Structure 1
Amino acid sequence: MENTVRAFIKRHQLIKENSTVLIAVSGGPDSMALLHFFWRIMREWNLRLIAVSVDHQLRGGESLEDLDYVKQICGKWEIEFVGTSLDVPAYKQAKHTGTQIAARELRYQFLAEQMNMYHADYLALGHHGDDQAETMLMGFVHSATVKSLAGMPLERKFASGKIIRPFLCVTKETIENYCRENAITPRRDPSNEENTYTRNYYRNSVLPLLKEKNQNLHQTTRHLSQALQEDEAFLIQEAEKMAEQVVIFDNPETAASFNIHTFKTYPRSLQRRCFHLVLNYLYNEYSQPTISYVHENQFFIMLETDYGNSRIDFPHNLKLKRSYQTMVFYFPENHSQTFSYHMIMELPGETVLPNGMVISADITSHPELQGEMAYVCQEDTVALPLHIRTRKAGDRMSWPGLNGSKKVKDIFIDAKIPLNERDTWPVITDNNGEILWLPGLKKRLPSGKTQKGNYIQLTYGKEEKHA
C-alpha cells in the first residue's frame, strides 16, 4: 500500500517537502494507517506532523478513550498531538440539525482553527476509495447535481492551506491489511456496523453487491470523480465570467438582478450554474438552505414564461421577481418596496424596462433622431458599456449651460414628475457612473468630440407589440 500511496501523492503533487501537515485521527483503522504512513515518510520529506483528535461526546467514555489512545500512540511515535472534546449534543439541539451534520460542522470548525494556529499547509484526511464510492452512490440516489455525484475532491482549499485525501487510491480492505502488517491495533466504533445512518447502509449493504460485479470499483469511481470535478470546475469558471457580465449585485448579499434576454443568450449549463452562484452569494454559507431541482425548475419556468410580472418564493424568505425582461432576487426586509433595477444596455439592441418601456440602441454614422426621447453621442467619447438603472441617493447631473451640477431629485421636482414614477425612471450612465441622459428631461453631452467615427443613437418609447 505504501508504494501505491506514494506514487499517488507524487502523481497529483499532493504534498511538498518541508511542509506542516495536520492529520485528523479518530483512532480507527483509516486514520491510524494514515498517521503511520506519514510517520514513515516524515523524516524523508522533512515534514512537521501534528495529529488532531476530537471527542464528539457521543459515546460516553469510549470516545474519550479513543482520544487518549491516539495521544499515547503519538507519544510513542514522537508526533505532536492536539486533542479536544466537543459538545455535539448541545450544538445539535441549538442548531436543530442531525447528529452527523452537527458533529461534522463542529469538527471542521476546530480543524480550521488548528490549521490557522499552526500555519499548516495541509490537513490530511483518511477517506479511502470505498468512502468515495459510497459518497458518489449517495449523491446519485439522493441528489440531482453534478457536484453531489462527483464525490469528495482529492484536494481543496481550507483555512491556511488545503485538505488532501491521499488514501482515495486504496480500498478499505487494503488499509485493514496495512494495519495488520504494521501491528497497528486501531479502535473500533461499534456504530459503524449499524445501518441507522444512511452512509452505513450503503457501506454495509449496497457497496458489497456492487463489488461483486466490479472488484476495481474504487478505481472506476475515482476516475469518474476526477473527470466530473475537472469538468465542473471549468463550467463554474465560465459561469463566474457570465455572472460578471450579466448579473448586477446592487446591495451586498441582499439583492441581485439581470436582463433575461441577455441571460438566455448563454448555454443552459452556464445559466444553471450562474443561478446557483447568485444563490450562493445571497445565502451566506452558514444559513444556506437545501436548494433542490424543484427550485431550479421553478426558476427556469419563470425564465421561459413570457408573463409581464410574476414572483416565486424561495427558502429563508428569498423572493424571485420577474418584471418584463428583468429578473430580481431579493430579501424583502432589505429591499425597497419600490422596484429598482440595474441593467447593461445591449448595443445595438433593445432593452425592455420593468415599466414596459423600451430603450433602443443603434450604432450609426449618420444620426438623425432629435428630441427629448432621443439621445445621440459619439461612440468614442463615452466609457462603454452603457448602463440603465434607477436613481440612487445623491445622484447628480450636469449639462451644457449649467454651472456645476444638479441633484436628480431636484430635476424630478422641477419637472413635476409624480413621486410614484421617480423611483422607476430610467437613468442612463456610462461605465464610470456618469449620468448621460434622463429620458424626456435632461441630456449630458460628453466632451472630446472628434471629426470622424460612429455615433450611439438611443430612443425611449413604448414596446411595440407584434401580431
Structure 2
Amino acid sequence: MNDVVTSFIHKHQLLSPDATVLVAVSGGPDSLALLHFFKTIQRDWKLRVIALSVDHQLRGEESKEDLDYVEEICRKWDIEFVGTSIDVKGFKKKEQIGTQIAARKLRYAFFAEQMKFFHADYLAFGHHGDDQVETMVMRMVRMADSSSFSGIPVKREFAGGLIIRPFLCLTKDEIEQYCKENQIVARLDPSNESVDYTRNYFRKNVIPLLKEKNQNLHRTIQHLSESKEADERFLQSEAEKLFEEIVQIEENPVKALLQIDMFLTRASALQRRTFHLILNYLYSDDLPKDLSYVHEEQFFMLLNNEKGNVQIDFPRHLKVEKAYNKLIFYFHQDEKNEPFHEVLDVPGEVILPNGDKVSATYINEIPIQTNNTYICLEKDISLPFHIRNRKAGDRMRWNGLNGSKKLKDIFIDAKIPLQDRNSWPVVTDNNGDILWLVGLKKRDTIPKEEQSIYIQLNYEQGNV
C-alpha cells in the first residue's frame, strides 16, 4: 500500500521534503491509517507531523473518548498532538444552520488556526477512493450543473498551505487491511451504520452494485474526477475572462448588466459558467438552497425571448430583466419609487433622490451641447423650472413633430428598462410644459439670437 500511495503523492506533487504536515485524525480507521503512514515516511521526507483532533460534542462522553484515544495513540507513536472540543449545537442554534454545516465551519476554523500557528505546509485528510465514488455518484444524482459535478479534490489551497488527500488512490478495504497488518485498532462511529444519512445509504445500497460491474471503480472515478477538474479549471478561467470583459457591475444598489448580442456570440459552456459567476457575485457566494437548474433554463429562455421587456424572479427577490439588448440582474426593493418634485431656480441646482444633480446657469455664449445639457431663451419660458418624475398621460412636443408623443412611447423607442422609467427626471417650465426628458428628448432646438439671455441646464450623475 505504501508504494501505491507514494506513487500517488509524486504524481500529484502532494508533498515536499522538510515540510510541516498537520493530519486530521478522528480515531477511525482511515485517519489513523493516514497518521501511521506519515509516521512511516516521516524520517525519509524529514517531516514534522502533528495530529489534529476535534471533539464535536455530539455523542457525549463517547466523542470525548475518541479525542482522548487519539491523544493516547499519538503519545504511543511519538507524534505531536493538538486536540479541541467545539460547541456545534450552540453554534448551530446561533447561526440557524444545519448540524453538519455548523460542525464543518467550526472544524475548519480550528484547522485554519493551527495551520497559521504552526506555519504548516499541508493539512492531510484520510478521504479514500470509495469516498470519491460516493461523492461523485451522489452529485450525479442530485445536480444538473456540470460545473458542480466534481469530486473531492486531491489538493487545494487552504490557510496559507494546501489540503492534501493521499489516500484517494485506495479503497476502504485496502485501508482496513493496512490497519490489520499494522495492528492499528480504530474507534468506530455508530452513526456510520445508519442509512438515515444519504451518504451511508449510497455506501451500503448503491456503490456495492456498481462495484459488481467494476472492481476498480475507485480508480475509474478518480480518473474521471481529475479529468473533469482539469477541464473545469480551464473553462472557469475562460468564463472569468468573459465576466470581466462584458459584465458591468454597479453598486448602491448592487446590479449586474450585460449586452445580450455580445453574450450570445460566446460558447454556451462559457455563457452558463458566466451566468453562475454573476449569481455568485450578487449572492456573495451564499447561494440560496432553492436555486436550481430550473433558474438556469429560465435564464436562457429569457435571453432568446423576442419581447423587448421581460423579467423573471429568482430567490431572495433577485430580478433578471431583459430590456431589449440589455440583461439586468438586480434585487427588488420593497419600497416603491416615491414621487419627487423639485423647483429649480436660475442660478441654482437640485439634487435628485438617486443622487444625480441638475443645475441651471445664465450663459452669454452657446457652448458645444451634449445629451446632458439643455439650452433655451429666458424669454421663451416661464420660470422657475420644475423637475419631477413622470406622470400618467405625460406627453411631449418638439420641433418637427406633428402633434405630441407619450413619454411611455419615447422610453420604448429609446429602449429604456422598465425599472428606470419611473425615476427618470422630467424638466418642465412653470406652466407645466415638458422642456426636456433628460438625456432623451429636448423640446427646443438650440436658439440662435443675438443680444438674448440664455439659460443652460446641466445634468450630472451622482456616481460619476
Shift of 1:134: 0.2
Shift of 1:287: 5.9
2:99 counterpart of 1:99:
yes
Structure 1, residues 71-114: CA drift from partner, whole Å, max 9, x if none? 11112222222211112222333334332232222222222222
> Equivalent residue for 1:435?
none
Shift of 1:173: 0.3
Shift of 1:252: 8.0
What SS does the corresponding residue of 1:42 show, helix, strand or coil?
helix
> Equivalent residue for 1:259?
259
Alignment partners' CA distance in 1, 2:368 and 2:88: 61
Amino acid at match of 1:262: M
Q: Which ranges in structure 1 are unaligned for 5 or more consecutive residues?
A: 339-390, 426-437, 442-467
What SS does the corresponding residue of 2:44 show, helix, strand or coil?
coil
Alignment partners' CA distance in 1, 2:376 and 2:80: 75
Alignment partners' CA distance in 1, 2:252 and 2:7: 45
What SS does the corresponding residue of 1:49 show, helix, strand or coil?
strand
> Equivalent residue for 2:145?
145
> Equivalent residue for 2:322?
322
Shift of 1:201: 0.5
2:53 counterpart of 1:53:
yes
> Equivalent residue for 1:232?
232
Amino acid at match of 2:245: Q
> Equivalent residue for 1:201?
201
How big is the alpha-carbon RMSD for the aligned residues of Structure 1 and Structure 2? Answer: 3.2
Amino acid at match of 1:178: Y
> Equivalent residue for 1:385?
none
What SS does the corresponding residue of 1:205 show, helix, strand or coil?
helix
What SS does the corresponding residue of 1:329 show, helix, strand or coil?
strand
Structure 1, residues 325-384: CA drift from partner, whole Å, max 9, x if none? 11111223499969xxxxxxxxxxxxxxxxxxxxxxxxxxxxxxxxxxxxxxxxxxxxxx
Alignment partners' CA distance in 2, 1:70 and 1:408: 73
Amino acid at match of 1:227: S
Shift of 1:210: 1.1
Shift of 1:414: 7.3
> Equivalent residue for 1:246?
246
Are the structure 2 counterparts of residues 317 and 440 from structure 1 closer, same or farther at C-alpha, using a change threshold of 3 Å? closer
> Equivalent residue for 1:461?
none
What SS does the corresponding residue of 1:26 show, helix, strand or coil?
coil
2:12 counterpart of 1:12:
yes
> Equivalent residue for 1:297?
297
Structure 1, residues 3-23: CA drift from partner, whole Å, max 9, x if none? 100010001111111222111
2:337 and 2:423 in contact (8 A); partners too: no
Alignment partners' CA distance in 1, 2:48 and 2:337: 57
Shift of 1:49: 1.7
Alignment partners' CA distance in 2, 1:406 and 1:76: 85
Amino acid at match of 1:198: T
2:120 counterpart of 1:120:
yes
Shift of 1:422: 11
Segment drifting more, 200-209 vs 79-88: 79-88
Shift of 1:150: 2.2
Amino acid at match of 2:249: F
Q: Give the TM-score normalised by the residue count of structure 1.
A: 0.73
Alignment partners' CA distance in 1, 2:386 and 2:16: 67
1:253 and 1:281 in contact (8 A); partners too: no
> Equivalent residue for 1:29?
29
Alignment partners' CA distance in 2, 1:194 and 1:308: 54
1:125 and 1:163 in contact (8 A); partners too: yes
Alignment partners' CA distance in 2, 1:24 and 1:236: 30
2:279 and 2:287 in contact (8 A); partners too: no
Are the structure 2 counterparts of residues 75 and 300 from structure 1 closer, same or farther at C-alpha, using a change threshold of 3 Å? same
Please give the residue correspondences for 1:316-465 in structure 2 after superposition, counting only pairs within 5 Å: 316-333=316-333, 393=356, 411=373, 419-420=388-389
Shift of 1:146: 2.0
Alignment partners' CA distance in 2, 1:161 and 1:288: 30
> Equivalent residue for 1:40?
40
Alignment partners' CA distance in 2, 1:293 and 1:18: 46
> Equivalent residue for 2:395?
none
Amino acid at match of 2:126: G
> Equivalent residue for 1:80?
80
Segment drifting more, 233-242 vs 92-101: 92-101
2:268 counterpart of 1:279:
no
What SS does the corresponding residue of 2:23 show, helix, strand or coil?
strand
1:35 and 1:51 in contact (8 A); partners too: yes
Amino acid at match of 1:128: H
1:312 and 1:321 in contact (8 A); partners too: yes
> Equivalent residue for 2:129?
129
Alignment partners' CA distance in 2, 1:34 and 1:139: 26
Shift of 1:247: 0.2
2:181 counterpart of 1:181:
yes
Segment drifting more, 40-49 vs 166-175: 40-49
Amino acid at match of 1:221: I
Segment drifting more, 216-225 vs 93-102: 93-102
> Equivalent residue for 2:434?
none
Amino acid at match of 2:79: I
Structure 1, residues 147-166: CA drift from partner, whole Å, max 9, x if none? 44321111111221121111
Are the structure 2 counterparts of residues 84 and 325 from structure 1 closer, same or farther at C-alpha, using a change threshold of 3 Å? same
2:280 and 2:287 in contact (8 A); partners too: no
> Equivalent residue for 1:351?
none
Are the structure 2 counterparts of residues 393 and 52 from structure 1 closer, same or farther at C-alpha, using a change threshold of 3 Å? farther
Q: Give the TM-score normalised by the residue count of structure 2.
A: 0.73
Alignment partners' CA distance in 1, 2:139 and 2:64: 32
Shift of 1:196: 0.9
Which structure has the larger Rg?
A: 2
Q: Which ranges in structure 2 are unaligned for 5 or more consecutive residues?
A: 339-353, 378-384, 390-420, 426-438, 443-464
Alignment partners' CA distance in 2, 1:69 and 1:161: 28
